[in-house]
Amino acid sequence: MRNIIIVVSLLILSVSAATLAVGQSDYQVISVTDGGTISGTVKWTGPVPRELEFPITKDPSICEVDGKKTASLERLIIGPENGVANAIVYLKNIHAGKALELPEQRRHLDQRHCRYIPHILLVPQNAVLSMQSSDATLHTIHMDGAASYNLPFPFPNQMSQRSMSTPGLVNLRCNGGHVWMNAEMMVVSHPYYAVTDESGRFEFTDVPAGTYQIVAWHEGWNLIGKEQAYDVLTERAVQRPVFSEPKTWEKSVTVNANSGSTVNFLIGNK
pLDDT on residue 236: 85
Give domain limits for the chain.
2-267
Non-local CB neighbours of 96 within 8 Å, separated by 6+ positions? 27, 28, 29, 30, 208
Q: Return the CATH number of the domain spanning residue range 2-267.
A: 2.60.40.420
Give pLDDT tens digits for 60-77.
999 999 999 999 999 999
Quick one: average pLDDT of 193-197? 98
Q: How confident is the model at residue 25 (pLDDT cuts 50, 70, 90)?
A: low
The percent of residues above 90 in pLDDT, for the chain, comes to 83
For the ranges 110-119, 148-157, 161-170, 230-239, the lowest mean pLDDT is seen at 230-239
* pTM higher than 0.95: no
Q: Given the DSSP bridges, would you call strands 182-188 and 120-124 parallel, antiparallel or unpaired?
A: parallel
Non-local CB neighbours of 265 within 8 Å, separated by 6+ positions? 40, 41, 42, 43, 87, 89, 216, 249, 251
pLDDT on residue 23: 36
Region for residue 113 given its phi and psi (left: phi exceeds 0; alpha: psi -120 to 50; beta: otherwise)? left
Other CB atoms within 10 Å distance of the CB of residue 146: 23
In this predicted structure, the answer to whether residue 219 has a pLDDT above a threshold of 90 is yes
Cβ-in-10-Å burial (0-12, 13-18, 19+) of 249 comes to middle
Cα–Cα distance measured from residue 178 to residue 142, given in angstroms and rounded to the nearest whole number: 12
Instruction: Name residue 14's beta-bridge partners.
Output: none
